[in-house]
Amino acid sequence: MPRSCRDAVGQEQVGEIRHDRSGISFRPGLEGVPVTQSAICDIDGLQGRLAYRGYPIAELSAHSSFLETTYLLIWGDLPSPQQLRDFEAEVQMHRRVSFRVRDMMKCFPASGHPMDALQSSAASLGLFYSRRAIDDPKYVYNAVVRLIAKIPTMVAAFKLIRKGQDPIQPRDDLAYSANFLYMLTEREPDPLAARVLDRCLILHAEHSLNASTFSARVTASTLTDPYAVVASAVGTLAGPLHGGANEDVLAMLEEIGSPEHAGDYLDEAIASKRKVMGFGHREYRVKDPRAVILQGLAEELFARFGTDEMYDVAKALEQAAATRLGPKGIYPNVDFYSGLVYRKLGIPRDLFTPVFAISRVAGWLAHWREQLGANRIFRPSQIYTGPQNRTWIPSDERFSSTGA
């Protein structure tokens, strides 16, 4: 039974609504409706467990690297040492982006959101590598390599371009995450910072059929190219109910200002039915396991580079929410602590979601491949609620003299 449901003009609907021909009940937001089979990611939202291809997320984030995890997600098994070396070398070789893409990005408005810049530049890759040979394993491998390699370069490039600077070229002697931080901050990062970012990328790489991954699979099901698949997913991730929440969390913590105000803020938000950003998840009824690990990463960074006073506000909010939202199964999600980590890494706030996208490309591409393996185009149905049998009338006869 849906929790709540509104019709096309926003009126509350009570009880179950069924499709008149199929008899299938309407589930707003497709909540709980399986629309595919997948062997990529498993979530136990009651126990707070998450595994990629059968490996618990805590093990991967402690021991793996982002590129190894990417390989695992996309090809199903951990790579051999040689496979990993080859994959890393290919990704390293394709990090640069064409001067044409950079020139195109220079025409983007500096005030534009980096997620919009990323969506446009990701889509533009399809112009350069447009051969849709999606049943050729070599094309698939190359497309994976290009997207994993170039997305971070494009995110870092826009950060500098919007300030009127030329983007920094990738450095071949730096590993994936260290190179991204270098291109972004213009400084070679501390090894701890680079490792923490790599672990963040592992944590965000995949999460079953969330909105952006669903978007990726729908786009993939039309057999279009993988650049269009990723561009559509980036657009979906940008929304504040999805990846965009990590930006809003920091703004919210700053609005609360100090730990003593956390309880009042929460009461006011609940009373006015405002969502507390970084809390709640369609799948989890406990604290998101990624939030648990991210909180630990934040603490590692604070111990080394100095604390962030918003961390105390975050902890106070989490504590206050335990009794007010906890009974409804609403706890911190992945976005709650990630902003604090990214800020400590020197990443500007409006790049938090693009960093999420850099990582989630791995999951989107895993789902792209899986979708192609057993494809059927997505075409759900709807329950029509509009008017019937209207007759067209000329425009000058449409309104009565009363203006009704």
Nearer to ligand ACO, 5 or 84 (CB): 5
Q: For ligand ACO, give the closer residue by CB, 195 or 324.
A: 324
Length of the chain: 404
Cβ-proximal residues to 392 (8 Å cutoff; 6+ apart), any chain? none
- Whether 335 is a known active-site residue: answer yes
DSSP letters along 48-79, please? TEEEETTEEHHHHHHH--HHHHHHHHHHSSPP
Q: Which is nearer to ligand ACO, 106 or 324 (CB)?
A: 324
* 334-344 and 352-373 helices, crossing angle to 10°: 130
Residues binding ligand ACO (CB under 6 A): 3, 29, 210, 241-243, 245, 275-282, 325, 328, 330, 333-335
Smallest separation, CB 53 to ligand ACO (Å) = 20
Residue with tokens 């809003």: 248
Output the CA–CA distances (angstroms, integers) from residue 21 to 26, 232, 378, 384, in the order listed: 12, 31, 19, 12
- Least separation in angstroms between residue 16's CB and ligand ACO is 17
Q: How far is the CB of 49 from ligand ACO (least distance, A)?
A: 16
CA angle 112, 144, 185 (to 5 degrees): 45
Is 103 part of the annotated catalytic residue set? Answer: no
Whole-number minimum distance, CB 28 to ligand ACO, in Å? Answer: 8
Residue of this chain nearest to ligand ACO (CB atom): 280
- Cβ–Cβ under 8 Å, residues 167 and 156: yes
CB nearer to ligand ACO: give 60 or 149. 60
Helix (H) or strand (E) holding 269: helix 262-271
**Minimum gap (Å) between residue 187 Cβ and ligand ACO:** 29
Specify the residue, 182 or 279, whose C-beta has the smaller distance to ligand ACO.
279
Give the whole-angstrom CA distance, residue 191 versus residue 254: 29
Q: Which is nearer to ligand ACO, 149 or 341 (CB)?
A: 341
Q: Which of 207, 308, 335, 367 is catalytic?
A: 335
CB of 369 to ligand ACO, least distance (A): 22
Q: Is the Cβ–Cβ distance between 167 and 143 less than 8 Å? A: no
Q: Which residue of the set 198, 281, 308, 367 is catalytic? A: 281
3-state secondary structure labels for all residues of 153-177: HHHHHHHHHCCCCCCCCCCCCCCHH
Residues identified as active-site: 281, 335
